[in-house]
Homo-oligomer: A and B are copies of this chain.
């Protein structure tokens, strides 16, 4: 018994049947004597409908009005879920982001949570109500509606859990937890029982798509135990929490990210300042650069390569080309048919040889490595897109061999 925050995404409340499935999970948790706060996203089709309506009228609508429009989505799903819980005979109340005390920054569409003041939630819990809160939204200091951007509902849930010192924050999705690799692609991929915040962060940024990064960062900061699990199968999921020494796994997972493009600038004059100027220009345009590699200088010139999200390729190339005209570099090449494949594991800090095993697996599969990047708990390689699935399988087999488990 305690306080449990449960978050359900858009697909978990997609239709009446799914809404009742969620109501059933929620009320069963309540029946065990828990206080329950439920955070919901908008129904998937609602979000699509609203975006289509806006696009038809003004594709360049202000973000302020887009947020006004989109926040109606969670309002609809939250009230519908409350109605389903009423139907099951339980006391329940739905609250909008602002009613639940979500104060955010003013950056419409990508607002950050500044403060959660859960007085109203607590008051409703004290009355023994199940409390349904709209995820993804809040208000800014002008009292205007804001949205938190992609994956914001996960963050909403963790923020409530942090503000109310919840005992557990469950993130219900359409997968059963965090896997050692994508289970749809890699035979033998296994669900992890436990993973550390840091490993989860590396996996999230690497395209594992299970949990939003900001929510994991916040959970780590406030030490909120997360559980990732499926609203459909309801099997125990993966717990995300602070790693203890004992729990550190050598490798917790293998991830692939296809949303990668590589740009290489050739023949950069070997003088200080080039990289600084280039990357501040990219940063000013909000282009997020991932891996950066610089070759050792030769004949007074060097090469600089970096990766970005594919959607940024065109504006970045324009920016780089304009920059090149004044910089003295000899040219630029790019490749968007690449993938990034990574292994993540808190245990590799103290175990050399992980990189070697990974490269061995790729060599045995006859896969060429274009770039390598490493952190304390992660090793990433850039390879050709067409090799990516084969690479993930080969690496996964190497570390999680069906026999040597």
Binding site for B on A (CB under 8 A): 16, 19-20, 50, 53-54, 56-58, 60-62, 64-66, 68-69, 71-73, 75-76, 78-80, 82-84, 86-87, 93-94, 96, 99, 120, 143-145
B72 close to A75 (CB less than 8 A) = yes
B50 close to A76 (CB less than 8 A) = yes
A86 close to B71 (CB less than 8 A) = no
Q: Besides A69-B75, A69-B76, A72-B72, 18 other CB < 8 A contacts?
A: A16-B56, A54-B79, A57-B80, A58-B87, A61-B83, A62-B86, A64-B93, A65-B86, A65-B94, A66-B79, A66-B83, A68-B75, A69-B79, A69-B83, A75-B75, A96-B145, A99-B143, A99-B144
| Chain B CB within 10 Å, residue with most, of A66, A71, A75, A94 | A75
A75 to chain B, nearest CB (A): 4
A384 to chain B, nearest CB (A): 43
A83 close to B65 (CB less than 8 A) = yes
A78 to chain B, nearest CB (A): 7
Chain B residues near A145 (CB-CB < 8 A): 96
Chain B residues near A68 (CB-CB < 8 A): 75, 78-79, 82, 94, 96
How many copies the complex holds: the figure is: 2
**Alpha-carbon gap, A64 to B62, bound state (A):** 31
* Contact of A86 (CB < 8 Å), options: B61, B76, B79, B83: B61
Chain B residues near A120 (CB-CB < 8 A): 143
Chain B residues near A50 (CB-CB < 8 A): 76
The dominant DSSP class at the A interface is helix
**Alpha-carbon gap, A267 to B319, bound state (A):** 94
Chain B residues near A79 (CB-CB < 8 A): 54, 65-66, 68-69, 72
B71 close to A83 (CB less than 8 A) = no
Chain B residues near A93 (CB-CB < 8 A): 64
In the A-B complex, list the 8 residue pairs whose CB atoms are closest, starting with the nearest: A69-B79, A68-B79, A61-B83, A72-B72, A58-B83, A58-B87, A72-B75, A16-B56
B20 close to A57 (CB less than 8 A) = yes
A76 close to B53 (CB less than 8 A) = yes
* Contact of A57 (CB < 8 Å), options: B62, B75, B87, B94: B87
B54 close to A83 (CB less than 8 A) = yes
22 A–B contacts, CB within 8 A, in A order = A16-B53, A16-B56, A50-B76, A53-B80, A54-B83, A57-B84, A60-B86, A60-B87, A61-B83, A61-B86, A61-B87, A62-B86, A65-B79, A65-B83, A65-B94, A66-B83, A68-B79, A68-B94, A69-B79, A69-B83, A71-B75, A72-B72
**Alpha-carbon gap, A20 to B58, bound state (A):** 10
A264 to chain B, nearest CB (A): 41
| Chain B CB within 10 Å, residue with most, of A68, A73, A87, A145 | A68
**Alpha-carbon gap, A311 to B283, bound state (A):** 65
* Contact of A54 (CB < 8 Å), options: B61, B66, B80, B94: B80
Chain B residues near A80 (CB-CB < 8 A): 53-54, 57, 69
Chain B residues near A58 (CB-CB < 8 A): 83-84, 86-87
